Amino acid sequence: MRLFKIILGVAVVGILGFFGIKEIIADPVYFLELFLGGLTRGSIYALIALGYTMVYGIIQLINFAHGEIYMIGAMTALIVASVLGLWGWNSAVIVILAIVFAIVYSCAYGFTVEKIAYKPLRTAPRLSALISAIGMSLFLQNYVMLAQTSEFMPFESLIPDFKFWEPVAHIITAVEMTIIVTTIIVMILLGMLIKFTKIGKAMRATAQDKIMASLVGINVNRVISTTFVVGSATAAIGGVLIACHVGQVNFFIGFLAGLKAFIAAVLGGIGSVPGAVLGSLVLGISESMFTGYFWSEYEDVFAFSILVIILIFRPSGILGKDETSKV
Amino acid sequence: MKSFFKTLALALLTMVVFAAPGFAGDTIKIGCGGVISGDLAPYGISALRGAEIAVEDLNAKGGILGKKIELLVGDDVCKPEVAVNMATKLVSDGAQMIVGHVCSGATIAANKIYKDAGLIVISSASTNDDLTLKGEHPNFFRTISYDGAQADLMTSFVKNNLKVKTVAMIHDKGDYGKGQMELARQYFEKLGGIEVVLFEGITTGAVDYSAIVQKIKRSKAELTMFGGYHSDASKVVGLLKKKRVKTIFFGADGIIGDNFVNLAGKYSDGVYATGPNDTSSNPLYQEISAKHQKKYGEAAGTFTHNGYACVQALAAAAEKAGSLDYDKMRAAMFEIKVDSPLGPIGFDKNGDVIGAGFSVYQVQNGKYTQVN
């Protein structure tokens, strides 16, 4: 088995490496474009995957409604931006307010979802909470569809095409650059929150051992709520950014994005924050490369194949701790 | 003895239940199937409303064969597996003729049920070639031209009017989009002189299409042809413009209509698309548009007038045949001439419409304008 793994690994890396180097030398700009495109996509996955991985780290629940929180963020930004746009507000103010509202609304939804759908099931078998999560996801999708519309709605990019950006716009657009930079900032802030603040310390303690944490005076319920709120906030930022990038939203955008982010989280090692970021970037960049150099028809097939291959080698993900767990 | 009566009662009850559809003779029931929820709903709803208006008009004139018409509505959400269930339900509810469906994939799946039930089906929007040209669906007719006719127009327009040499073809992997692009590629090969440099499918609703856009750019295609629906098309066209890719965007009837222009906004300018002929000068067409505006409070949709023509054709065939018998109805379908909102139409031996075709449009100042 071990020999098989090694042979498989060497074969995959060898073939990819051979073609990769040949292609990169032939057209380095194209490679750069694909790489940056993949980085953008990976950043969006990462913003969503953080919510999955943090929640899993603390209560071992796959929060399948998380994709919907991302969608609600994009929707809220759309509504706020169009209303303020009608009133003729300054576009810089609109951007900030739209993002703030998106974050506040998504956090409120994330918080409420936890209180309604997961908290009563805290001691129930894990499968019950999982079913509850799927139910919540369907509910939120249909709720937004009925309250808003089932059609796609145009989303005017809140980030303008800056004049000074024009020379490189054909390689990476201003919006894509914004996505990457914002993601980096969010990651740094989140890292600091977890490492250096009191609540971050409490989160780490709760993740290690819930009972022990409560014995030493940590309010576990509050820590769990905070985790949902933080995860929702990053998802909302992701929602607003991607809507600016592709220019439209509807009630269903959270499904595929959420699924991909979930794969990314598993890929990186679910429960691990750096793992989720790494997994997202690996997934985003390899998807982009695959579409660019092979066939876009099989982009999703490829994404799932990567998941399978990595899980063969490291069953708990790239940065995951070695312990068996089930979804 | 007691149990005998019980059995008898049960048997009688069962018989009554199964016989019920057979007794439903007071009205003529037309089943109307299509996508009326989800993100393709505008297409299905437009076709359904056309049928609703036609049924009202016909009922005001006394219905078909002296009987009033009743519309049974089903939603297939554009999915073949749902369409089959929905079709079975329409048949068991006693539908005697079918208007629908909208998405070609759903129509193909559902038509197996209708064919077995001996019902004439007429669609206002399904354009897949196989439906008529393969000969597997003898009960199927349509009031919209088939994809082949459209592919022919698209390719010859690209060659003769736009005079490009290289083409990238992108589709959404669906029955409609992929079918259309494969067909167009065959027509390009027949025409000659045009090189297809890229032929790829994309995942509907994916998070980002940057990679495929970069690929189009690298292929240096002068023209990008897209087979699919308006939401994916508008994402791709937006990214093409944002990434400063110089290529002409050319779509088919899936992106015709205001939906696409609204979604793509300023990026839609200059986009070409083929779509059904502009028949808006027809008086009946205008009358239906006015009725639609009055009844639903908004402008008529993409397939409203085709939907109207479907019901008209069914009514005309039934009147000509003098009954709803399948063989008589089918024979009548080939003979009728209908004064529809699309102009005078009839049906050829395959079940395809004669008299309604396609034109090329371009988005100019936020509106599709006919250019050929």
Distance from CA of B206 to the nearest CA of A (A): 7
CA distance A187 to A237: 12
If DSSP codes are grouped into helix, strand and coil, which group holds residue A198?
helix
User: Is a pLDDT exceeding 60 seen at residue B178?
Assistant: yes
Residue A137: what are its φ and ψ, rounded to 5°? -60, -45
Q: Do B214 and A292 touch (CB under 8 A)?
A: yes
CA distance A82 to B227: 31
Q: Do A169 and B215 touch (CB under 8 A)?
A: no
* Chain A residues within an 8 Å CB radius of B211: 34, 37-38, 287-289, 291-292, 296, 299
- What is the CATH number for A168? 1.10.3470
Q: Give every CB contact of residue A218 below 8 A, 6+ residues apart in sequence.
A: A202, A205, A206
Helix A91-113 vs helix A126-147: crossing angle, to nearest 10:
140
What pLDDT does B372 receive?
76
Identify the contact set of chain A against chain B, taking CB-CB distances under 8 A: 27, 30, 33-34, 37-38, 40-41, 44-45, 150-154, 156, 161, 169-170, 173, 175-176, 242, 245-248, 250, 252-253, 255-257, 260, 287-289, 291-292, 295-297, 299-300
Domain count within chain A = 1
What pLDDT does B366 receive?
86
Strand order, beta sheet including B353-354 = B338-340, B343-347, B353-354
Q: Which has the closest alpha carbon to B141: B321, B285, B311?
A: B311
Q: Do B208 and A170 touch (CB under 8 A)?
A: no
User: Is a pLDDT exceeding 90 seen at residue B31?
Assistant: yes
> Which residues, listed in sequence order, are joined to residue B363 by a DSSP beta bridge?
B368
**Which secondary-structure segment (H or E) carries B70?**
strand B68-75
What pLDDT does A326 receive?
45
Task: Report the amino acid identity of residue A152.
Answer: F
Q: Which of B45, B182, B208, B262 should be substituted to probe chain A, the one whose Cβ sees the most A Cβ atoms within 10 Å?
A: B208
Structural domain boundaries enclosing A144: 26-313
What pLDDT does A323 receive?
55
The verdict on residue A274 lying in a domain is yes
The verdict on residue A65 lying in a domain is yes
Pair A206, A222: CB distance under 8 Å: no
Put simply, whether B239 touches A (Cβ < 8 Å) is: yes
Q: Tell me which range, A142-146, B207-211, B253-257, is most confidently predicted by mean pLDDT.
A: A142-146
Q: Give every CB contact of residue B280 below 8 A, 6+ residues apart in sequence.
A: B286, B289
Put simply, whether B214 touches A (Cβ < 8 Å) is: yes
Pair B101, B122: CB distance under 8 Å: no
Task: Report the amino acid identity of residue A138.
Answer: L
Q: Give every CB contact of residue B281 below 8 A, 6+ residues apart in sequence.
A: none
The verdict on residue A322 lying in a domain is no
What pLDDT does B20 receive?
45
Distance from CA of B181 to the nearest CA of A (A): 14
Mean pLDDT of B70-88: 93
CA distance A15 to A84: 53
CA distance A276 to A44: 12
Q: Copy the structure tokens of residue B242.
A: 């944002």
| Tens of pLDDT, residues B258-316 | 888 988 888 889 999 998 887 888 899 999 999 999 999 988 888 999 999 999 999 99
| Tens of pLDDT, residues A111-140 | 999 999 999 998 888 899 999 999 999 999
The verdict on residue A146 lying in a domain is yes
Tokens 């995957």 correspond to A49
Q: Do A154 and B239 touch (CB under 8 A)?
A: no
Nearest C-alpha in A relative to B229: A152
Nearest C-alpha in B relative to A167: B244
For every residue of B17-32, DSSP letters joined together read HHHHHHH--SEEEEEE
Q: Which domains does chain B have, with CATH numbers?
A: 27-144+281-356 (3.40.50.2300), 148-270 (3.40.50.2300)
CA distance B54 to A139: 37
Q: Do B203 and A299 touch (CB under 8 A)?
A: yes
**Measured CA angle at B234 (ends B233, B237), to 5 deg:** 85
Mean of all residue pLDDT scores within chain B: 88
The verdict on residue A278 lying in a domain is yes
| Tens of pLDDT, residues A69-113 | 999 999 999 999 889 888 888 878 888 899 999 999 999 999 999
If DSSP codes are grouped into helix, strand and coil, which group holds residue B223?
strand
User: Is a pLDDT exceeding 90 seen at residue A237?
Assistant: yes
Q: What is the dihedral of CA B232, B238, B240, B241, to 10 degrees?
A: 160
**Which secondary-structure segment (H or E) carries B123?**
strand B120-123
Mean pLDDT of A259-283: 90
Q: Do B210 and A170 touch (CB under 8 A)?
A: no
Q: Which residue has the higher pLDDT, B39 or A64?
A: A64
Q: Which has the closest alpha carbon to A199: A235, A224, A232, A231?
A: A224
The verdict on residue A327 lying in a domain is no
Q: Copy the structure tokens of residue A38.
A: 């993949």
The verdict on residue A85 lying in a domain is yes
CA distance A209 to B154: 65
Put simply, whether B148 touches A (Cβ < 8 Å) is: no
What pLDDT does A322 receive?
58
Pair B107, B100: CB distance under 8 Å: yes
Residue B9 — pLDDT band, cuts 50, 70, 90?
low
What pLDDT does B223 receive?
94
The verdict on residue A4 lying in a domain is no
Nearest C-alpha in B relative to A142: B38
For every residue of A65-115, DSSP letters joined together read THHHHHHHHHHHHHHHHHHHHHTT--HHHHHHHHHHHHHHHHHHHHHHHII
User: Is a pLDDT exceeding 60 seen at residue B22?
Assistant: no
Mean pLDDT of B246-258: 89
Put simply, whether B280 touches A (Cβ < 8 Å) is: no
* Chain A residues within an 8 Å CB radius of B203: 256, 296, 299-300
Could you tell me the pTM of the whole model?
A: 0.76
What pLDDT does B206 receive?
83
Q: Do B242 and A161 touch (CB under 8 A)?
A: yes
Q: Do B244 and A291 touch (CB under 8 A)?
A: no
User: Is a pLDDT exceeding 70 seen at residue B88?
Assistant: yes
What pLDDT does A327 receive?
46
Q: Tell me which range, A7-11, A194-198, B208-212, is most confidently predicted by mean pLDDT.
A: A194-198
Q: Which of A29, A34, A39, A246 should be substituted to probe chain B, the one whose Cβ sees the most B Cβ atoms within 10 Å?
A: A246
Q: Do A151 and B39 touch (CB under 8 A)?
A: yes
CA distance A225 to A107: 10
User: Is a pLDDT exceeding 60 seen at residue A166?
Assistant: yes
Strands B367-370 and B358-364: antiparallel
Mean pLDDT of B175-190: 89
What pLDDT does B44 receive?
92
| Tens of pLDDT, residues A196-228 | 999 999 999 999 888 999 999 999 999 999 999
Residue pairs between chains A and B whose CB atoms are closer than 8 Å:
113
CA distance B354 to B341: 14
* Chain A residues within an 8 Å CB radius of B210: 37, 40-41, 176, 288
Residue A287 CA, chain-centre distance (Å), reads: 15
Nearest CB among B42, B218, B242 relative to A173 is that of B242
What pLDDT does A119 receive?
92
Q: Tell me which range, B110-114, B178-182, B253-257, is most confidently predicted by mean pLDDT.
A: B110-114
Q: Do A252 and B262 touch (CB under 8 A)?
A: no
* Chain A residues within an 8 Å CB radius of B266: none
* Chain A residues within an 8 Å CB radius of B208: 37, 40-41, 44, 242, 245-246
What pLDDT does B224 receive?
94
User: Is a pLDDT exceeding 90 seen at residue B40?
Assistant: no
